[in-house]
Amino acid sequence: MQVDVVSPEKLLFSSEAVSVEIPGSDGDMTAMANHAPLITTLRPGILRVVQEKGASEYVVTGGFAELGETVSVLAEKAVLKADFDREMFDELVTAAQTALDSARANMAGDAVDMASKSLSDFNILGENLGFK
């Protein structure tokens, strides 16, 4: 199946793949050929594109994925996992903490919940990458 992974900065991947492992906001999922049509939002995590010759992994911060005959991933930010470092991680956690502090200061209930979940997702990502 055709898979495209795009961030605002560039096209990261565009080729045939066997499957895509997606960090969906409601849980991880794997898309394969002929997947039922679906759109899901992404949470911070690792997106894995599996090809017959190997796999490539990307750290994503959010966005969405559209599944069907093809898979299109539009990420807020996406970086090859091999290029993702502690400095990038720390910047993302700081931004997530700032968003949470701002939501709390404005007493915005839903925004506090979303910012809190985002910060939690980044902390789990950091543990998975060995940064915690």
Give the residue extent of every domain in the chain: 2-82, 85-129
Residue 45's closest CA among 63, 64, 59?
A: 59
Per-residue pLDDT reduced to its tens digit, 46-102: 999 999 999 999 999 999 999 988 999 999 999 999 999 999 999 999 999 998 888
Q: Could you tell me the pTM of the whole model?
A: 0.88
Cβ atoms 21, 28 nearer than 8 A: yes
Give alpha helix (H) positions in 33-108: 86-105
Q: Hey, what's the torsion of the CAs at 108, 110, 111, 112, to 10 degrees?
A: 80
Q: Given its phi and psi angles, is residue 97 left (phi above 0), alpha (psi -120 to 50 degrees) or beta?
A: alpha
The whole-number pLDDT of residue 7 equals: 95
Q: What does the alpha-carbon distance between residue 116 and residue 101 come to, in Å, rounded to a whole number? A: 9
For residue 119 the two structure tokens come to 């910060």
The whole-number pLDDT of residue 43 equals: 94
* Superfamily of domain 2-82 in the CATH hierarchy: F0F1 ATP synthase delta/epsilon subunit, N-terminal (2.60.15.10)
